[in-house]
Amino acid sequence: MTATEREKRFDWPLCYDAEERILGCLETFISQFSFAAGLAARMRDATGTLFIDWVDHWVMSPTVESELSRVGYRHEHGVETMAGQRAFWHPEAMLPRVVLDPAVGQSHAPFSVVLRVDSIADFFAIHDFPFHPRGAPMTRYRKAVITREAGGPELGIAERRGYRGFVPTEHAPAASAAFLRAHELWRTRNRRAENDNFQETHALLDELVSRVGRDGACHVVFAEERLYWERRNRAAQVQKRRQDRLGLGWANHDHHTFRSSRDHFVDLMKCLEKLGFERRERYYAGAQAGWGAQILEQPVEGIVAFCDVDLEPHETEIDFSRLGLPPSKRLGTIGLWVGLHGESFLEAGMHHLECRFDHALLREQLAAENVNTMTPFSDFPFLKQAFTEGERWPVRRERAEALLKRGHIDQAQFDRFVTEGAIGSHLENLQRKGGFKGFNQKSVSVIIQATDPRAQPPPGS
């Protein structure tokens, strides 16, 4: 498959055989480890999440290699492992990776399951286990193991920073300091650059890459973007607090959505390219809903970015991720959102973060916290998606005045946006089955239309 063909692809397969094999392994593991069983129950009851969606990888005997191959897993070449180990992944499914280790023996059950969290120190402090990590603080890969029951499996807890391998770095004070400084630089950057100018952002990205490398910079930028978005979204704050009570953080993220003006969409793409993102698939929905999207994936950090932009019907056949778009006389939903709030990668922050949950359960749990959820816009056996009700943000008068002057909004809309604000962001509740990696183009069009700021009712109505 050529790069162009891959970018247009959005017909990802359903890999139920692989998922069933994984779920069977995890069920066996949980049945043998009382803490894991209790944790899985608390994940569901306290956070609305599923154990599988926190699994980074697990370790098994090489005797299962043929079975893994049968359900679509492939040897992942070039990934750093401990001596004798080999890593496997499923290239067509969103499923945990597997490490085969000859030291495990002949068992067909997992010897070790490793969960990914934002901070292993937070996890161990909350669950009150002795903390003996492998890997220095703020380095690329750290792991700590919960003491296993006699003769049984072990549960590992890991954190990653721009690294896909499995070998901790034991002593790296310079690297730790570099990561801390990179976080500070991105967290305190100037988001209100005049005229939404990307020049400062590109220069800062170059500095981050020079300090912590391309993949490390990707980790830093997206961790900070989640934090910035979280500060501006109550649903995010409620759910993050629930997940932090178990020491989990946002490690169940599925994708990050950025909205862009037509003027700066290529700028956004260039920023993501500097962070190691590769174009995965494009949506052409211009004729249907006036928008298009480029989906990108960072293969090392494992982050997916969903970037959308207004499109005209005749632009559905061009590569708008590489070719600059000319000015348009009209603003669609996305262009108006950017006009009101700013570029997602600058002032506004993300439109939404989508994380993986037990879809129906989270909806019930958030309702009990006075966080309501909109009608699902994908409701398939393999993909369920719904936004929480939008967070209304203030609109700066100068932004509204610029839109009014250009004829993009009328006087009544101007008055409303300035006095009442406009919908800014959401948390998205998603559940995948069958390892499905894709999205539903028609359903996304529906929700984009439903969240147009011009269509929102007044607060409290």
Helix and strand counts by DSSP (H, E) for the chain: 15, 16
Average of per-residue pLDDT across 212-217: 98
- Three-class DSSP category at 207: helix
Phi-psi category of residue 336: left, alpha or beta, with phi > 0 → left and psi -120 to 50 → alpha:
alpha
Question: H-helix or E-strand containing 56?
Answer: strand 55-60
The CATH number of the structural domain formed by 3-169 is 3.10.180.50
What are 364's two structure tokens?
Answer: 């019930």
CA angle 384, 160, 439 (to 5 degrees): 20
Which of 236-250, 286-300, 357-371 bottoms out in mean pLDDT, i.e. has the lowest? 286-300
| pLDDT (tens digit per residue) in 17-68 | 999 999 999 999 999 899 999 999 999 999 999 999 999 999 999 999 999 9
Q: What is the pLDDT of residue 197?
A: 81
For 143-153, b where at least 16 C-beta lie within 10 A, e where not — what string? bbbbebeeeeb
pLDDT cut 90: percent of the chain above it: 80
CATH 3.10.180.10 fits 223-455, yes or no: yes
Provide the residue ranges of all domains of the chain, joining segments of one domain with +. 3-169, 223-455
pLDDT in tens, 329-382: 889 999 999 999 999 999 999 999 999 999 999 999 999 999 999 999 899 999
Q: Tell me the pTM.
A: 0.93
**What DSSP character marks residue 134?**
B
Task: Write the pLDDT tens digit of every residue in 77-91.
Answer: 999 999 999 999 999
Q: What percent of the chain has pLDDT over 70?
A: 91
User: Identical fold at 3-169 and 223-455?
Assistant: yes
Distance CA(171)–CA(165), nearest Å, equals 17
Question: pLDDT of 410-445, one tens digit each?
Answer: 999 999 999 999 999 999 999 999 999 998 766 555
